[in-house]
């Protein structure tokens, strides 16, 4: 058994325990292996160990890796997305996690229309209101949802947040609780073209707490692939 397989099994077991603690089914949580900066052979090892969902920060990496992976590998765009890169990534990304403005949503809608597809998106929320992070302020999200829902070539599937980097995952519990509550509040409005079934929250340091608080997608990179950064500057 290689180290990636071992790590994957450990993460899955941690997710199982967190689900059990919260009275949730493990089937409701999808593990995204965050493969940004990682070479293709590491993704292939993760795939062999059962991983099917991969998260990338840069459009270029999705374009390079996606065609070389098996057809049932799913790539998620989890990094900040520039509007001029939307048309390149749309055919390859199963879900865009990082929609943080009306202008970006509009661009996705226009490019999806040209491609004859409907794009699935999450709205990125800066729950902790960190200046260094992208994402909408929580109080702006309900209004933004109503505006973006009017576009015909995208579907709002839920919300995403990148919680602060903390030494104790418990410190991020209120962040995850707030995102969950925001999704519940939006769901109650029954807006056409809006579904709040997906909550993308939790990373290597805090994914267990995120699962306890309702995450349906967790984004784990270091916990699977290790610390080393392979990015060529």
pLDDT tens digit sequence for 195-229: 999 999 999 999 999 999 999 999 999 999 998 77
Say which residues have a Cβ less than 8 Å from residue 135's Cβ, sequence separation at least 6. 100, 124, 125, 126, 127, 161, 162
State residue 231's pLDDT score: 66
CATH code linked to domain 3-225: 3.20.20.10
Can you read off the two tokens belonging to residue 23?
Answer: 């009275």
State residue 152's pLDDT score: 96
What digits encode the pLDDT tens for the residues 104-135?
999 999 999 999 999 999 999 999 999 989 99
Taking the whole predicted model, whether its pTM rises above 0.75 is answered as yes
What digits encode the pLDDT tens for the residues 26-85?
999 999 999 999 999 999 999 999 999 999 999 999 999 999 999 999 999 999 999 999
Q: What is the CA radius of gyration of the chain?
A: 17
Distances (CA, A) of 225 to 22, 173, 209: 27, 25, 21
Cα–Cα distance measured from residue 193 to residue 150, given in angstroms and rounded to the nearest whole number:
8
For the chain, the structural domain boundaries read: 3-225
- Name which of 128, 73, 118, 66 is nearest 96 in CA terms: 118
Q: Residue 17 phi/psi, 5° resolution?
A: -65, -40
């Amino acid at each position: 058994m290689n180290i990636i397989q071992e790590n994957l099994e450990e993460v899955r077991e941690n997710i199982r325990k967190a689900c059990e603690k919260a009275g949730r089914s493990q089937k409701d949580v999808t593990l995204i292996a965050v493969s940004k900066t990682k070479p293709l052979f590491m993704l292939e090892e993760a795939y062999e160990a059962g991983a099917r969902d991969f998260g990338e920060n840069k459009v270029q990496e999705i374009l390079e890796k996606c065609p070389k992976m098996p057809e049932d590998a799913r790539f998620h765009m989890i990094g900040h997305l520039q509007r001029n890169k939307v048309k390149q990534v749309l055919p390859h990304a199963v879900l865009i996690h990082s929609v943080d403005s009306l202008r970006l949503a509009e661009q996705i809608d226009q490019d999806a229309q040209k491609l004859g597809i409907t794009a699935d998106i999450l709205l990125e929320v800066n729950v902790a209101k960190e200046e260094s992070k992208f994402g909408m302020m929580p109080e702006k999200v309900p209004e933004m949802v109503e505006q973006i829902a009017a576009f015909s070539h995208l579907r709002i599937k839920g919300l995403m947040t990148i919680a602060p980097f903390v030494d104790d995952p418990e410190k991020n519990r209120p962040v995850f609780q707030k995102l969950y509550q925001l999704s519940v509040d939006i769901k109650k409005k029954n807006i056409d073209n809006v579904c709040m079934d997906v909550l993308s929250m939790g990373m290597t340091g805090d994914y267990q707490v995120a699962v306890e608080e309702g995450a349906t997608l967790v984004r784990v990179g270091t916990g699977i692939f290790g610390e080393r950064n392979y990015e060529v500057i």
